[in-house]
């Protein structure tokens, strides 16, 4: 028996359809960029679409063909946006490289992806001068600036100028009708162990992710929003905002490399930003600056915080001191990246404030498009009771099925059913579908057969008024195997003692979970995407002697 065929038009879901939509329906909506060159640049969705067509023409003239990879090493800005649409829209594959990775890793990634052209911001000229000889596949290097900013001399052979390339084209270009399952872009995971791995997104997965992420229970974006993605365009496509921004026709504001508290605050105010997104660490700088100068926001209403656990104390400060709603979100490179966001249901309206806060502190509920489960080590699913914790697995149209160039499948089975992606996170899920990450499986502290969540310890420490940042790691213990060690960066000018900090945990957590010791450091190392580098911390303190051990 064959099913009756649907009789709807087949319109492929293409990235070019997003920019065409924005240009048609939000033609004069602004795209504002703080440029690497230091000034503020203003353009519109209509202009971005026209210049994206010129970029597509320029790439074809450089000899790029369907499926070729185009690398970028760039901050958030309109030229990067033009490449998002010009490269992907014309059937090429945009490869956004994280410039904060080690130089050898950057070259390794460009080679692994076989990038044909590399576009980069002025900031990265010295880096690319060093790396160019190691990037064997790259045929053209393009500086994302104008003639006036081109270096008089450079070690990069045949260095091209972005504005020269764009302005040489007339924009008479039709976006091609591609297969919606064709690759559109690649992001590499940060690769804390071993080489980074590439997640290859398709046009279809990207458009579906943009639809899903704009929903009210997700990022809730509309044409009335002014969106400032603090999250970089090299960190999983700035969490899809360059796409969902076009889908809803929002104004976008790009901070370029100017991510310090003062610059961000001034841009938020000057451009009347309503919505933003970023990892917890970026908000630390902004909050410190605003508190020091007694500043308030006049337009900023809500922000998504994710990428690592948002400390409840940060949530409280943003909500209560600055009137900003915090939407805690969880995602991964392999998920394009959005998986869950924490928004209350109407049945929670009658709950006391504290109970509502505890729900909002969780990583939240899935967007339609993501299916999740928690499983034990034998692949059996665990109950959604908010208590049982297990390995979090997901599936859906914007979750990877395999990694770039790797034949082996990463997928696992749940209750015998194959096709689930193991996230490497440990989580609980309650009856309403609120997921809470207990830990990255590698970061859980295993004390005498019991697990201690490093995130719980960090969340408590971050509420201490004298602590700027804290990380909990496992430390070897002769009797308990592992015990928690808390690494603390005090706020400037605050003299903290070990007893102060440990005393702060009393009554907030079971006694046996309280860290055994505290070390004070001037700085905690972060990964290229702004997460605490636990691996490095564990290495640094591997010989630390716990007092009771």
Q: Which residues bind ligand AMP (CB under 6 A)?
A: 189-190, 236, 306-309, 328-333, 337, 363, 423-425, 437, 440, 529
CA distances from 281 to 258, 259, 285, 311, 490 (A): 15, 11, 7, 10, 15
Q: Which of 262, 442, 451, 536 is flagged as catalytic?
A: 451
Angle, helices 203-214 vs 241-248, to 10°: value is 70
Helix boundaries (H) for 76-161: 78-89, 103-113, 125-131
* Closer by beta carbon to ligand AMP, 100 or else 498: 100
> Which single residue brings its beta carbon nearest to ligand AMP?
333
Q: Is 334 a catalytic residue?
A: yes
CA distance 97 to 69: 12
Are 273 and 224 a contacting pair, CB within 8 Å?
no
* Closer by beta carbon to ligand AMP, 437 or else 486: 437
- The least CB distance from residue 343 to ligand AMP, in Å, is 14
Are 78 and 33 a contacting pair, CB within 8 Å?
yes
* Closer by beta carbon to ligand AMP, 225 or else 425: 425
Of the candidates 515, 239, 460, 524, which has an alpha carbon nearest to the alpha carbon of residue 367?
239
CA distance 197 to 111: 12
- The least CB distance from residue 526 to ligand AMP, in Å, is 12
Q: Is 189 a catalytic residue?
A: yes
- The least CB distance from residue 153 to ligand AMP, in Å, is 37
Q: Indicate if the alpha-carbon torsion angle 359, 360, 366, 367 is positive or negative.
A: positive
CA distance 481 to 476: 6
* Closer by beta carbon to ligand AMP, 186 or else 332: 332
Q: Which of 446, 450, 491, 512 is flagged as catalytic?
A: 446
* Closer by beta carbon to ligand AMP, 110 or else 329: 329
- The least CB distance from residue 217 to ligand AMP, in Å, is 16
- The least CB distance from residue 198 to ligand AMP, in Å, is 12
Size of the chain in residues: 549
CA distance 275 to 505: 34
Which residues face 325 on adjacent strands?
302
Q: What angle do CA 67, 333, 485 make, to 5 degrees?
A: 150
Written as one string, the DSSP assignment of 48-76 is: HHHHHHHHHHHHHHTT--TT-EEEEE--S
- The least CB distance from residue 519 to ligand AMP, in Å, is 23
- The least CB distance from residue 274 to ligand AMP, in Å, is 22
Of the candidates 168, 142, 183, which has an alpha carbon nearest to the alpha carbon of residue 14?
183
* Closer by beta carbon to ligand AMP, 16 or else 391: 391
* Closer by beta carbon to ligand AMP, 74 or else 532: 532
DSSP state, residue 173: -
* Closer by beta carbon to ligand AMP, 84 or else 234: 234
Q: Which of 43, 189, 303, 529 is flagged as catalytic?
A: 189
Half-sphere exposure of 283 (CA within 13 A, CB side): 26
- The least CB distance from residue 362 to ligand AMP, in Å, is 9
Phi, psi torsion values for 7, nearest 5 degrees: -120, 35
CA distance 294 to 274: 20
Which residues face 363 on adjacent strands?
none
Q: What is the token pair recorded at 286? A: 């902004």
Q: Point out the residues that are catalytic.
A: 189, 334, 446, 451
């Amino acid at each position: 028996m064959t099913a009756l065929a649907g009789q709807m038009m087949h319109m492929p879901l293409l990235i070019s359809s997003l920019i065409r939509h924005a240009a048609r329906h939000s033609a004069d909506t602004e795209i504002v960029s703080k440029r690497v060159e230091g000034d503020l640049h203003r353009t519109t969705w209509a202009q971005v679409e026209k210049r994206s067509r010129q970029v597509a023409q320029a790439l074809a003239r450089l000899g790029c063909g369907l499926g070729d990879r185009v690398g970028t090493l760039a901050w958030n800005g309109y030229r990067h946006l033009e490449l998002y649409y010009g490269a992907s829209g014309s059937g090429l594959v945009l490869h956004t490289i994280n410039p904060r990775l080690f130089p050898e890793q950057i070259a390794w990634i460009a080679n692994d992806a076989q990038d044909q052209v590399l576009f980069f911001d002025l900031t990265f000229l010295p880096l690319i001068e060093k790396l160019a000889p190691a990037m064997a596949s790259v045929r053209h290097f393009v500086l994302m600036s104008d003639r006036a900013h081109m270096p008089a001399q450079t070690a990069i052979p045949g260095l091209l100028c972005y504005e020269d390339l764009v302005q040489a084209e007339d924009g008479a270009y039709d976006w091609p009708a591609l297969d919606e399952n064709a690759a559109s872009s690649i992001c590499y995971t940060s690769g804390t162990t071993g080489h980074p791995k590439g997640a290859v997104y398709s046009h279809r997965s990207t458009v579906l992710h943009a639809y899903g992420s704009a929903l009210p229970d997700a990022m809730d974006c509309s044409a009335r929003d002014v969106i400032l993605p603090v999250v970089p365009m090299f960190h999983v496509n700035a969490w899809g905002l360059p796409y969902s921004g076009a889908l809803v026709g929002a104004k976008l504001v790009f901070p370029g490399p100017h991510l310090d508290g003062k610059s961000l605050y001034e841009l938020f105010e000057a451009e009347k930003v309503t919505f933003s997104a970023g990892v917890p660490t970026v908000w630390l700088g902004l909050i410190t600056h605003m508190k020091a100068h007694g500043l308030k926001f006049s337009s900023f209403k809500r922000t998504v915080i994710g990428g690592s656990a948002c400390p409840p104390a940060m949530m409280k400060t943003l909500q209560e001191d600055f009137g900003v709603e915090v939407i805690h979100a969880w995602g991964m490179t392999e998920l394009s990246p959005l998986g869950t966001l924490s928004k209350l249901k109407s049945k929670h309206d009658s709950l006391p404030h504290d109970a509502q806060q505890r729900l909002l502190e969780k990583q939240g509920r899935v967007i339609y498009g993501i299916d999740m489960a928690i499983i034990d080590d034998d692949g059996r699913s665990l109950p959604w009771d908010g208590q049982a914790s297990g390995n979090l697995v997901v599936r859906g149209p914007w979750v990877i099925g395999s990694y770039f160039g790797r034949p082996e499948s990463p997928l696992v089975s749940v209750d015998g059913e194959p096709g689930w992606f193991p996230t490497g996170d440990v989580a609980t899920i309650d009856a309403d579908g609120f997921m809470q990450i207990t830990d990255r499986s590698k970061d859980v502290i295993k004390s005498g057969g019991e697990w201690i969540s490093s995130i719980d310890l960090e969340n408590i420490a971050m509420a201490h008024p004298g602590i700027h940042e804290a990380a909990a790691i496992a430390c070897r213990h002769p009797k308990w195997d592992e015990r928690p060690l808390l690494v603390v960066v005090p706020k400037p000018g605050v003299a903290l003692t070990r007893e102060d900090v440990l005393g702060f945990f009393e009554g907030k957590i079971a006694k046996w979970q309280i860290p055994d010791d505290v070390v004070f450091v001037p700085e905690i190392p972060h990964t290229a995407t702004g997460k605490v580098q636990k691996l490095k911390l564990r290495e640094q303190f591997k010989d630390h002697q716990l007092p009771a051990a």
